[in-house]
Amino acid sequence: MEKNDSITSISGGLTSAYMAVKYPTKYNIFALVTTNDKKCIYPDPKIRQIVSDRIGKEFIGTLEDDKIIKTILQLEQFMGKKIDWVAGKTFDELLQQKKMLPNMFARFCTSSFPCQVIFSTIVNR
């Protein structure tokens, strides 16, 4: 990655989608929060396989709203530009490592999921 390369972190929400469309950057990255919990299995096996291929590991499900998956896939088609999908530790693994739930005093979700995963992805390019 060069010094002046720019990144848009896409979350699946309206604001990040607007930014990605209206203010194009070199990289668009979606950091997916995954889970190992079989009760949260993504219902569509075909899309589950697409997501597995995108993140480079088995995708069981997410603790986010399932609609976000389709939103990111549709946004990529709308923009006509690739969105890089990344996923680090599962939510379950992170909780086991931290030995606590995220809370008002330990707000580690944002730093652990999108920030660290996106940073390590970009640095390794």
Give the 3-state secondary structure of residue 119.
helix
Residue 88 has a pLDDT of 77
What are the distances in angstroms from CA 34 to CA 20, 41, 69?
23, 10, 11
Least confident of 46-50, 53-57, 99-103: 99-103
Q: Is the torsion defined by CA of 83, 86, 91, 97 positive or negative? A: negative
Q: 53, 7, 18, 46: which is closest to 32 by C-alpha?
A: 53
What average pLDDT score do residues 3-10 get? Answer: 75
Does the pLDDT value for residue 121 go beyond 70? no
In eight-state DSSP terms, residue 113 is: I
Q: What is the pTM of this model?
A: 0.76
Does the pLDDT value for residue 100 go beyond 70? no
CA distance 38 to 47: 16
Residue 106 has a pLDDT of 57
Does the pLDDT value for residue 65 go beyond 80? yes
What average pLDDT score do residues 25-37 get? Answer: 89
Q: Which residues contact 2 (CB under 8 A, 6 or more apart)?
A: none
